[in-house]
Amino acid sequence: MADLKDQTGYIGSRVEQSTRELAELTDREYKYGWVTPVEQDTVEPGLNEDVIRLISAKKEEPSWLLDWRLKAYRHWLTMTEPRWANVTYPPIDYQAQRYYAAPKKRPQKPGSLEEVDKELLKTFEKLGIPLEEQKRLAGVAVDAVFDSVSVATTHQDILARKGIIFCSFSEAVKKHPDLVKEFLGSVVPYTDNFFAALNSAVFSDGSFCYIPKGVKCPMDLSTYFRINAAETGQFERTLIIADEGAQVNYLEGCTAPIRDENQLHAAVVELIALEGARINYATVQNWYSGDQFGRGGIYNFVTKRGICKGAGSHISWTQVETGSAITWKYPGCILQGDDSVGEFYSVALSTKRQQADTGTKMIHLGKNTRSTIISKTISAREGNNSYRGLVQIMPKASNSRNYTQCDSLLIGNKCGAHTFPYIDVRNMTSRVEHEASTSKISEEQLFYCKQRGIGPEDAISLVVNGFCKEVFEHLPMEFAVEASRLLNVSLEGSVG
């Protein structure tokens, strides 16, 4: 008996030791926290109609777009900031933000790299996104957005041969006004919500993409967002249109410097899939998340929505949310066409004082529509993570199907994991299933690994990667590797 007691005591102390070692692992710095010293062309802080006119003028926009912005702004004035999300933050002073910041030295001709400021090229190279011809990533076309403007878009020529339009939003407004006019705000109208209205009023740049009928995009398209300027919000707008039978994979990445004040990022992404089209949209969000005392970090208030307009179309959202002080994001699908498919795969990590309220909306309108939701949330230290999702089956959506799974992993006893599903069914032939679970990484699991010579750091990474596997499978290879590395870095030192 005494032996047994000794043994359990021994195991206990071993477990304790392993957790302690884990706790002692120092936090690695946020890798992308530096600032690029470039001369900035900014507008004064504050928001009013003049600022909007100024932004519009700087971008040489047609009058219909300015009118649209102003309408959005006037509507925004009538709205109140949503407070229903399970996050807390001090009130945001919208007049203290700068709504436009751009590097001064910019090429006059879009697409010509010779004129791009060397500092900017260096910035993106440092971020792992080389833009120069000879160093470019071979299989991916990149649109690099720096604060409020797009600095370069690679591989445009190859894409153009297939009839694919991939350029910055500002360029699209000039070159393809009809397409922009037709689809802008068609999925996320400016009346949609507070942040969408704000974005519609002040949006600066973003990516525009059009894949013509029957074309399968020969390479992955990607946008890289970088916030650099201080006191500046980023309000980009992305619009992707896949015409009948087209296919595209789209990737999005983002980083920002370390600063003690919070910066606002309110983006809008609209996806349109016509008959038989397929859009895969993947995000690895790594905005600066603030320090362990909750100082600084990005407020990420994003509206993302896709519409499966045509029959048999397919939209898939995959997101890995590791950054931001606050994440408020619900990428959704409106399944309008019959037999259309919507998917949502998400890994959301909140550690330190991060708060995430994220999930999806699947609105089934057409017959035989299907949706799948896989959400994995990880909370560590003092992070709080909520899944909030809506599945709505409308009366005409016969034989629709939804499957939802949301799992939470808790690491440490100061974090929180919450689930708020909303399920609305108005059609009897449809089937909806929802399941969720919450569990933790136990000392026993870590001890089990340690016995087999796997260090605590690797053990956590093993458990977490296993937990997220179903989501990572849906990411392109490079992104999956990057995402899993990101999780490991963010979770270092979180047990104990």
Partner 1 sequence: MQSSDFKKVFELLLKESDLADHGQIPREIALFRQTNAKRFFELELPHRKTETWRFTDITPLTRTSFSTRLSVHDDLISPQDISGFLYQNGDFTNWVFVNGRWSSRLSQDTSCFGVQVSDLHTAIQNSNGMFARHILNAENGTENVFSALNNALLQDGVYIHVPRGTKNASIVHVLFVTTDQEHPSAQHPHNIINVEDGAELTLIISFVHMGKATPHFSNVRTDFHIANNAKVTYVKVISDNNGGFHLDSSHVRIGASSSFDAFSATLSGKIVRNETHVQLKAENSTCSLNGLYLAADEQLVDNFCSIRHGAPSCQSWIGYKGVLQDKSRGVFLGKIHVERDAQKTDSKQLNNNLLLSDRAFVHTRPQLEIYADDVKCTHGATVGQPPDELVFYFRSRGISPETAKGILTYGFAKEAIDKVSCPAVQERLEKYILERFLGKTMGKEE
Sign of dihedral through CA atoms 75, 81, 83, 86? Answer: positive
The residue within the footprint of partner 1, chosen from 123, 419, 461, 494 (CB under 8 A), is: 419
Q: In this structure, what are the phi and psi dihedrals at residue 371, rounded to the nearest 5 degrees?
A: -140, 145
Q: With CB under 8 A, what is the number of residues at the site for partner 1?
A: 36
Residue 15 sits in the site that holds partner 1 (CB under 8 A): no
Q: Per CB under 8 A, which region of 101-109, 196-204, 345-353, 431-439 contacts partner 1?
A: 431-439
Burial of 384 (0-12, 13-18, 19+ CB in 10 A): buried
Residue 218 sits in the site that holds partner 1 (CB under 8 A): no
Q: Binders of partner 1 among 68-97, rule CB under 8 A? A: 84
Residue 428 sits in the site that holds partner 1 (CB under 8 A): yes
Q: Which two tokens stand for residue 481?
A: 């590797």
Half-sphere exposure of 191 (CA within 13 A, CB side): 1
Residue 294 sits in the site that holds partner 1 (CB under 8 A): no
Beta-bridged to residue 321, according to DSSP, are 285, 348
Residue 424 sits in the site that holds partner 1 (CB under 8 A): yes
Residue 176 sits in the site that holds partner 1 (CB under 8 A): no
Residue 282 sits in the site that holds partner 1 (CB under 8 A): no
Going by C-beta distance under 8 Å and a sequence separation of 6 or more, which residues neighbour residue 477? none
Residue 33 sits in the site that holds partner 1 (CB under 8 A): no
Nearest approach, Cβ of 95 to partner 1 (angstroms)? 28
Q: Per CB under 8 A, which region of 47-55, 97-105, 153-161, 421-429 contacts partner 1?
A: 421-429
Q: Which is nearer to partner 1, 176 or 418 (CB)?
A: 418
- List the one residue out of 343, 270, 347, 351 whose CA is nearest residue 313: 343
**Other Cβ atoms within 10 Å of 233 Cβ, number:** 28
Spatial contact of 458 and 22, defined as CB atoms under 8 Å apart = no
Q: Which is nearer to partner 1, 138 or 428 (CB)?
A: 428
Residue 416 sits in the site that holds partner 1 (CB under 8 A): yes
* C-alpha span between 334 and 328 (Å, rounded): 19
* C-alpha span between 179 and 491 (Å, rounded): 43
The residue within the footprint of partner 1, chosen from 438, 445, 465, 488 (CB under 8 A), is: 438
- List the one residue out of 390, 339, 398 whose CA is nearest residue 363: 390
The residue within the footprint of partner 1, chosen from 421, 455, 476, 496 (CB under 8 A), is: 421
Q: Which two tokens stand for residue 245?
A: 């039978």
Residue 432 sits in the site that holds partner 1 (CB under 8 A): yes
Q: Label residues 396-410 b or e (16+ Cβ within 10 Å = b).
A: ebbebbbebebbbbb
Q: Which is nearer to partner 1, 215 or 411 (CB)?
A: 411
* SS3 state at 351: coil
Q: Per CB under 8 A, which region of 114-122, 220-228, 430-438, 448-456 contacts partner 1?
A: 430-438
Q: Per CB under 8 A, which region of 130-138, 170-178, 240-248, 425-433 contacts partner 1?
A: 425-433
**Interaction pattern, residues 314-353, with partner 1; x per rule: CB under 8 A:** ----------------------------------------
Q: In this structure, what are the phi and psi dihedrals at residue 77, rounded to the nearest 5 degrees?
A: -60, -30
Nearest approach, Cβ of 393 to partner 1 (angstroms)? 8
The residue within the footprint of partner 1, chosen from 22, 227, 325, 417 (CB under 8 A), is: 417
* C-alpha span between 221 and 357 (Å, rounded): 27
List residues binding partner 1 (CB under 8 A). Answer: 84, 393, 395, 408, 410-440, 442
